[in-house]
Structure 1
Amino acid sequence: MDEIGTIIGEKPDKAAQIEGLVFAAVLIDPEGRIAELNYAAEMLLSRSEKRLLGKTVASKIDILDDRVLAHLNEPESPLVARDVGLRVNDQESRVNLTISPLASHPGWRIMTLSDTGRDDGSNEREAEVASSGAPSILAHEIRNPLAAIRGAAQLASRKLEPKDRGLAKVITDEVDRIARLIDRMQQLGGSTREELASTNLHEAIRSALATVRAAGTEGVEITEEFDPSLPPVLANRDALEQVVMNLVSNACDALRASEQANPAVIVRTRFVSGFAFSAVHDGKAVKLPIEITVTDNGPGIDEALRDHVFEPFVTTKKSGQGLGLALVRKLVRDMHGRIAHERDTRLDLTHFRMHLALAGDGEQT
């Protein structure tokens, strides 16, 4: 067997296995210093191994949780922490974190970091299936009796006195409203995905913003801050436009409802060279370096709802149906991307950040 064949046939050693992980792994010595880290850790922390080796974890990894920081002083104690704040390049995100002491080497530990959008456990998948499938099942059960109600109302209106026909119209109008809601529920619960292709990001965003502006922004200033050098992304053009329209329209609605002084929405694009998220598609990790952020200066979503904004039927609008952001999440995931909500309490800004892959990465054939 030639040399290449030998390499392919060999079992990867432990170092190669750790290097190949899609989540960050950091080896910590007994003095709390960074002794080694894998490529995913360099990407997550936006720092090269050369700049991190020999430095203490507390000085180089900006963990925004005092309990985790205190735990770093307990080298023999394991830790599993979810939804921990992490700041990289002045951008805050949420990660899941573990610290595992090495029994064979007292004082040595392995710390892992993974963004909260990368949980691939079966429980989460089952919950997602349940949350997306339930609306579709419910829509199917409602549609037939709804059609019967509408037909009966139309038939009754022909026999009613003119002064009473308004009541029948109320019935048909409400049935039509529910039918539109059902259409959105079925779209949310659908399992089919639109074809993905190389897409000009800024053309899609500008098309979406033109639609929002045509509908009326009522004093809300919408600003574009685009990186013109960005390459095409892997997306479905219609789905991408729908996502941007939903996010910007929601921001405008929230600003108008709050009567915010100088209401403003910023749509920003950039290439994230270091702090890059990943998704798993067809069994391999796909980098998501293209970031689209929709930011508004409104009061933000109620704190009690912030962890549930992408769930069906969760809304802060008086007349809202609570399906808009759930549909946004589905469309983004169908494009192998991810989306997250953040509230910057220091600057009083609300961010919705979407990350997509470059065209060619995970592209359908």
Structure 2
Amino acid sequence: MDAYHKELTLQRISLEVKDKIKFYSDFIKIIATSEEFKNFAIRKTEQLDKYLSYLNQSLDTDLMFFVDKNGYVKASSAEYKEIIINENVSMRKYFRESINGNLSVFLARGIYTGRDDIKVSYPIYDKDRIIGVLVFQFEISENFKKQIAMENAFVMHSSGGILIGRPELRNRLIFNTAEEEINRIYREKIFGNDKLLPTEFKQIGEDVFEDFKGEKWQIIKWKLAEDWYLASFLNLSLYENYKAFLFAGLIILAFVSHYFTVRGFERVRNIFLNLAEEVEEKRIAFDAMDTGIIYTDTSGKIKYLNKEAMRILDISEEEKENITELSFKAHENPEFKILKYKGKEIPVIHSENPIAIKGVKFGDVITIKDATEIIQRQEMAKRLERLNVITKISAGIVHDFNNYLMVLTGNLSLLRELETSEDKKRNIEKMLEATKMMSTIIEQLRDLSPDLVSKREKISVEDIVKTSAAFVLGESKINYTIESEPSLLPIYADSAQLYRVFQNILMNAKQAMNNEGDIRIQLKNINNDGEIRDLKKGKYVCITITDSGPGIPEEYIDKIFDPFFTMKKEGKGLGLSIVKSIVEKMEGKIEVESTVGKGTTFRIYIPASENI
């Protein structure tokens, strides 16, 4: 591969990281400039901790923290709070850039975690003065590292220090870097607590190196972020040898053709070489593209796939020989299609164009682009927008309405004590009952707020399930069973909130079945090794609740957790949104499956106490 195509490959690989950096850069500006966040940062450190934990979980970052103007960490999401609080980060480049009013993107190895992370930071203003810096931190993905390994590339600092790459290159320094620059790298902890060692390469030119065998290499770079590059070596010695070999071969061919005096041989040879060179160039160019390219013949059989198409389908070079055809079906969003292959359904951006010469069709060129991340971002943006609206509504209502309600309840209670007429007392009692209902609604809205205070303790989820089932289903005609593993792990949670989770789900099932039917509750330990999406790896207690009710129509299944969505005439649409909010604040997950006419299953994963 030449320098041009090597650079194209690096550009394609870097897109995942650059897209992620852009997404978090745009979002941090929205959060940092919101009045709600500014108020937390100025006055309410404890609420800011909870808000950062809420955002960290919603955005799937690894850490969020707030640094005051002096460089001390004053608030953090829960994961590393005990370690990072009150740490001085004033020497870090991201802080220095953002405290001067700039967005900063900073790659580095974690001091405490040893992970390779990216930090995006932005200043927080109070009127016209900067009061601190907000920082989003996320880990460089395994998929990105896998692609780097496949292409024999590495992530390199402008100083020449290698952060990510083959084991023999990691933490190596390939440039002739000044001692002052190396000391600065150590002060800023760019490579965490690791030291940089020299490599076997000797720099003999600006981007040219020589190894211990005497072979020459050129470094090809593509900029990832300020001071950081995705890079790879191009073997110049091999290239020179290849050119010499080709030249010698052409001389021999010319001699042979002249010797046999075959006039047409020279023309045929040149055509063949030009075609071969053109085909190889196009193959390299296609493989460097970030769009999947598939060529099919007139019968629809696949004749060619580029590297990106193989990545989307998750197949190897050997497996691609066995692929005969693919099928597509409509997606709910007309911008996308669903690619079906081996039982998998992959959302893609799809186009299909015929190959025809003089009206005769020879096949089709199909282009596909993985839309999974695009759809996830769209869904996340919608979800965050909904949550932001609910947060603002609930915060305003809970604060103001609760104040008015306390005044109203107090005055009604006083009026009841002073009133002598029994009829009027009964009317006052009815009004007091109404205030209790209002108080219940306020509590429900409070549960949707990100600053919900929870008191966690080590508890047995089996006891809470049994108590909840007896309370909700005890006097109904519903038959229920509870099956539990003998060695069920304890969990670390707020028992009062957990009661609300199970009582809400069981009450919905009871109402859907009109007090008749069967409910089966199963409790078991599971170990998530990554097979359950959107759930951290570790040990969990899984609670499965299955009813024999009418089921939920397919068009509603994705909406049942949305605030204010309900299928009941007199429902408020808050029950299941509260359930989901509580479970996610426990760092768990809730799933639902339903078949109309057969019933519904809720599956809840709660971290076992060993995870905490």
TM norm structure 2? 0.41
SS at match of 1:276: coil
Structure number with higher relative contact order (C-alpha < 8 Å, ≥ 6 residues apart): 1
Tell me the equivalent position of 2:574: 323
Q: Find out whether 1:170 has 2:420 as its counterpart.
A: no
The correspondence for 1:67, drawn from 310, 320, 330, is 330
The correspondence for 1:208, drawn from 447, 462, 465, is 465
SS at match of 2:602: strand
Q: Find out whether 1:267 has 2:522 as its counterpart.
A: yes
Within 5 Å, give how 1:267-346 maps onto structure 2: 267=522, 269=524, 275-278=531-534, 286-287=536-537, 291-301=542-552, 305-317=556-568, 320-345=571-596
Tell me the equivalent position of 2:230: 11
Contact 1:288/1:355 (8 A) holds in 2: no
Which one-letter code corresponds to 1:135 in the other structure?
A: S
The Cα of 1:162 is off from its aligned counterpart by 2.1
Q: Mind listing any 5+ residue stretches in structure 2 that lack a counterpart?
A: 1-160, 162-167, 174-190, 192-227, 233-289, 297-301, 354-363
Q: CA RMSD in A?
A: 4.8
Structure 1 residues 175-211: Cα deviation after superposition (integer angstroms, max 9, x where no partner): 12211221222222242464778x78xx314422333
Within 5 Å, give how 1:2-41 maps onto structure 2: 3-6=169-172, 11=230, 29-31=294-296, 36-37=310-311
Which one-letter code corresponds to 2:533 in the other structure?
A: F
Q: Mind listing any 5+ residue stretches in structure 1 that lack a counterpart?
A: 14-24, 43-47, 69-77, 280-285
Tell me the equivalent position of 1:282: none
The Cα of 1:300 is off from its aligned counterpart by 2.6
The Cα of 1:297 is off from its aligned counterpart by 1.1
Q: Find out whether 1:131 has 2:386 as its counterpart.
A: no
Sort the Cα spacing of 1:115 and 1:287 in 2 relative to 1 into closer, same or farther, 3 A. farther
Contact 1:293/1:354 (8 A) holds in 2: yes
TM norm structure 1? 0.64
Tell me the equivalent position of 1:251: 509
Tell me the equivalent position of 2:261: none
Sort the Cα spacing of 1:3 and 1:277 in 2 relative to 1 into closer, same or farther, 3 A. same
Within 5 Å, give how 1:155-234 maps onto structure 2: 155-157=414-416, 158-192=418-452, 194=454, 203-217=460-474, 218-226=476-484
The Cα of 1:225 is off from its aligned counterpart by 4.7
Sort the Cα spacing of 1:26 and 1:186 in 2 relative to 1 into closer, same or farther, 3 A. same
Contact 1:313/1:321 (8 A) holds in 2: yes
Sort the Cα spacing of 1:297 and 1:316 in 2 relative to 1 into closer, same or farther, 3 A. same
The Cα of 1:338 is off from its aligned counterpart by 3.2
Sort the Cα spacing of 1:80 and 1:102 in 2 relative to 1 into closer, same or farther, 3 A. same
Q: Find out whether 1:80 has 2:336 as its counterpart.
A: yes
Identity of aligned residues (%): 19
The Cα of 1:356 is off from its aligned counterpart by 5.1
SS at match of 1:3: coil
The Cα of 1:314 is off from its aligned counterpart by 3.1
For residues 263 and 214 of structure 1, the distance between their equivalents in structure 2, rounded to whole angstroms, comes to: 16
Contact 1:204/1:241 (8 A) holds in 2: no
Sort the Cα spacing of 1:175 and 1:303 in 2 relative to 1 into closer, same or farther, 3 A. farther
The Cα of 1:313 is off from its aligned counterpart by 3.1
Which one-letter code corresponds to 2:443 in the other structure?
A: D
Contact 2:346/2:370 (8 A) holds in 1: no
Contact 2:529/2:538 (8 A) holds in 1: no
For residues 88 and 296 of structure 1, the distance between their equivalents in structure 2, rounded to whole angstroms, comes to: 32
